Amino acid sequence: MAKLNFKSEQDFFILFEQLKALFPNASLFLADTSTQAIHYKFNTDDISVESMTALTQDHHNRYLEINTPKMRKRFIYQENDIYIAEHRIIGKLHILQPVSIENDIADQVELTEQLQDLAKVFNSCSPEMTRMFSIIQRVAIAEFPVLVRGESGSGKELVAQAIHDYSQRKNKIFVAINCAALNSNILESELFGHVKGAFTGAIRDHKGVFERAAGGTLFLDEIAEIPLELQAKLLRVLETGEFTPVGGEKPIQANVRIITATHKALREEAKAGRFRHDLLYRLRVIPIFIPPLRERKVDIPLIVDQILKESSTQLDTMPRHVNQKAMQVLLNYDWPGNVRELKNTLLYALTMANGKDEIEVEDLPNELLDADEYVKLPENNAELTPENVQAALEKYNHNLNMVANIFGISRTTLWRYRQKHKL
């Protein structure tokens, strides 16, 4: 059960209307109990607690089945406590979403496969990222604006691309633009386009990203950097679904899914007068937060392994690995630049390694070596036995670098050991 807190009842009912639009096939009720909500749903008192069977449960939902002489129904069920100003419960919000019994198993298999695909794309096995993947699955099928918030280098464009890839627009174009990279005049033209003669140097018509992304998804990175005068024009696009190129007179329909991203707290920006409140409410219908790398360090060996594989392919060299002490340094560092900084660090280390099979501590940048102490790697039994190696492979998702580090051997030695013992 989730706890939803709102400053006022009005804020709750705004969300209530948004949820009804987000889940058009679902039924939403304010009720004290799940049985009461189900009575409202099916307009009958014949349903008892005994007739409801819990099929399974994940972090967010329960999957229930109702069996009575008159019906057999299966649905996804969510129950949320509603708090106003942190202390007063006005009731429980129940969301009942029908599920086809025939297609339910296939749907669940597809969702599971999507989660596995996302885990590979992001090189992650952490629960924090798995929760984010679940949100990506949900919001991808909707057409509402999404606001992605994450620190620099955390992969905001990767999240936007994933939402597009799982959406109904996946076969259409995905267009990304960094709003912080252009000054105000150029940004307006790049967003909305311009007509010939609109300003000095406008020697021909130019299509902006809203027009170029027609039918697809438009990703506006660093949205907080848009000047206030352009924020008003962007708000109009969201409200009316149309825009006018610079110097033009005829409005153009904007058939795009908008995803925005920022590393800033937009609420604080709005309070400071640097961002419009009304635009904020339009953009953050569905917010997604990317956990920083320092909060999911279990992913670091997976990311390191993937970066080294990609680098060996690009450089046409044998795959390298990071030895145990160097991995401890990587795990101990807080990575303010997140995955981007980790990638740049490994490219530096590969250069310093100068052809060696493994990256050592002395190959790493000096700023990583200033930490007070190493983070100790998880340890299995130090004895190298087939049983211990197999257990480590299963525990660490067959990450060969991690397993090799645990036993203090090279990745090549681990590979030969597995071949010998058929692991």
Distance between CA atoms of 63 and 77, rounded to whole angstroms? 6
Measured from the Cβ of residue 214, the count of other Cβ atoms closer than 10 Å reads 17
Listed in order, strand segments (DSSP E) in 353-393 are 358-359
Range(s) for CATH 1.10.8.60 in the chain? 294-421
Residue 205 burial by Cβ neighbours in a 10 Å radius (0-12, 13-18, 19+)? middle
Distance between CA atoms of 122 and 314, rounded to whole angstroms? 20
Distance between CA atoms of 62 and 56, rounded to whole angstroms? 6
pLDDT, average across residues 344-350: 91
Range(s) for CATH 3.40.50.300 in the chain? 111-289
Q: Residues 159-186: pLDDT tens digits?
A: 999 999 999 899 999 999 999 888 888 8
Integer CA distances (angstroms), 235 to 2, 82, 220, 262, 295, in order: 32, 30, 13, 17, 34
- Percentage of the chain lying above the pLDDT 90 cut: 29
Query: Out of 3.40.50.970, 3.40.50.2300, 1.10.8.60, 3.90.1200.10, which CATH number does the structure's domain 294-421 have?
Result: 1.10.8.60
Residue 2 burial by Cβ neighbours in a 10 Å radius (0-12, 13-18, 19+)? exposed
Integer CA distances (angstroms), 259 to 31, 49, 118, 165, 298, in order: 34, 42, 18, 13, 28
- Global pTM reads 0.64
Distance between CA atoms of 93 and 414, rounded to whole angstroms? 53
- CATH architecture, range 111-289: 3-Layer(aba) Sandwich (3.40)
Q: Residues 306-346: pLDDT tens digits?
A: 999 888 777 767 668 899 889 989 998 999 999 999 999 99
